[in-house]
Every structure is written in C-alpha cells, then in structure tokens.
Amino acid sequence: MKTGWLIYSEPDAVKNTSFIDWLKEEASLGGLSLELMYAERFAFGITENRLSLYYDLTETELPSFAIVRTIQPLLSRQLEAMGLKLFNPSAVSSVANDKARTHQFLAGAGIPMMDTLFIHPSIFQIQSMPFTFPLVAKLASGRGGEQVHLVKTERELADALSTHPEQEWILQKLAPDAGKDIRVFVVGNKIAGAVLRSSANDFRANYSLGGMAQFYHLNPAQTALVEQVISYFDIGMAGIDFLLDEKEAFIFNEVEDVVGSRTLSATSDINIARLYMEHIAAKLKKPESE
C-alpha cells in the first residue's frame, strides 16, 4: 500500500475534518494510505548543500506522493524538487492561486474572459485606468469570494485597494449576468460535474457567502470550452469557474486549486473523493515518462 501525505494548514484541517476523513476512507478502498500533515510544522531549505525537509524539527523521508490542500507554492516546489509526486503539481497551483497569472497564462488562447487590468496599488494611478465604472476589484491571491469588491466610484476603488495595498490586484469589467456563475469540477483533467451558483443579494455567487447551488448540465459548446481550458493544465482535482454572458455562453473567471466539494455533494451523488483517489492510484502506477 502506497502512503501519501495529505497536507493542510492546521486551521483548514479543523474546518475540513469530514472531507479529510472521506479522502482517507476512499484512499484506503483504492489501496492507498493518507497521513495528515500540517503545513505549519514543515521547515525546509538547504542543509549541507542539498535540499532538506523537516517535520516537527526532525528530518523526514518522503512518502510516495502528496495531496497539497494548502497554498504554499515554495513548499510545493521544494517537495517536487526533492522528487515527490504532487497533486496538484506546483505548476498548477502557482498559476491557479494568482488570478492575474491565471488570466495572463490563458490570454491569447481564444478563451473568452472579461477585460482585465493587473495593478499594484503603490504604483497605480486612477487616471491611467482604461475602464469605466462599475468594476470588480479582486485581490490576485484571494480565495472563496473574499477580497472581491464591486466598485462604482474612485473612492470605493481606493477603499478596496487600501485593504491590501502591498499586494497585486486585478480590475475587471462587470459580467453581464452578475451574481451567477458555474463551477466545473475537474478530476484527472476530466470533467466530473458542474454546479450553478447564484445569489439574489450579492454579485458574488459563492456558496460559502450564502449563495444557492444546483447541479448544472453543460451543453456541447460549454464542454468544449472547459476542455480547452483543462488542456493547459495537469489537474489532479480543481474547480474552474465561469461567468455567463447574455446568451448563457461561458466567460472564463478563475481556477480554484484547493477546491471544496460541498456544492457538488449537495446537488449530486458524484463521489469526487473516490474519483480523485482512483486518479491518483492510476497515476502512481504509470511510469514517470507517461
């Protein structure tokens, strides 16, 4: 039985106990074993001219693989450089966890997205902005709908940017059908299912912010666009979010690397944990060259 690390931050592990237990159960059924590891207890760097890794102050041996459920790009790259197989790979997490990098990475691929401006508050000048209000201001590193602001005036924009003046932001034109989006769940670079999220009271449709969810059946054009986005990544498990235009066509929004599955579980009988463990088991059986 191959053993892998399931890496969480300690606060997130407390909030996701049931999902962790679910992953462990499905891993066991698939011939794998998962050991919960806390990101805060790792120390890593270089010892005697070689990459090194410590856990609870003890230099530790690597398992067969790791599922990274926290956003620590440098830790992910260290683990990969030391030979560990990661789900998701660091190349996915480094792009997906930065909204500006995600849009920049996919630009020019013919994937529809809202007009977007990458800015840093310390050097941004309002008179250089080519867009008109209203706009959506998003912290590039934000997750779960946090630090996403609908701004209608210069003052509202300044107030939003002041919350994290030292970090990168993106400004986007407001989507035609604000308050509604589609989250497509992807496992092993295949579509597992999709959920329509909507809110009657907020331009953000996040379930964690009080939005509603229902299972969503993709049409052929939507499926083709999702598969086009997927083709640029090596996804273990992730969510890809799309906005909608006036004709219900998809507009790419973001990739959620450490995706939750509450909406999919609440609206379908799809066992995404089992699909994920089956994908990992299959990948571990393949030679590295494949």
Q: What is the pLDDT of residues 101-139, one digit of tens each?
A: 999 999 989 999 999 999 999 999 999 999 999 999 999
Q: What is the pLDDT of residues 32-41, one digit of tens each?
A: 999 999 999 9
pTM of the predicted structure, to 2 decimals: 0.93
Q: Where in the chain is the domain with CATH 3.30.1490.20?
A: 115-173
Alpha carbon distance 271, 69 (integer Å): 18
Q: Where in the chain is the domain with CATH 3.30.470.20?
A: 177-280
Q: What is the pLDDT of residues 57-100, one digit of tens each?
A: 999 999 999 999 999 999 999 999 999 999 999 999 999 999 99
Pick from 149, 176, 185: which is nearest to 164 by CA?
149
CATH assignment of 2-87? 3.40.50.20
Residue 199 pLDDT: 80
Share of the chain above pLDDT 90, in %: 88
Beta strands 116-119 and 169-173 are antiparallel
CATH assignment of 177-280? 3.30.470.20
Architecture of domain 115-173: 2-Layer Sandwich (3.30)
Residue 206 pLDDT: 58
Q: Which secondary structure element, helix H or strand E, spans residue 146, and what is its range? A: none
Q: Where in the chain is the domain with CATH 3.40.50.20?
A: 2-87
Please calculate the CA angle 235-21-79 and round it to the nearest 5 degrees. Answer: 45
The answer for residues whose C-beta is within 8 angstroms of residue 170's C-beta and 6 or more apart is: 99, 100, 103, 116, 117, 118, 119, 137, 138, 140
The answer for residues whose C-beta is within 8 angstroms of residue 80's C-beta and 6 or more apart is: 86, 89, 90
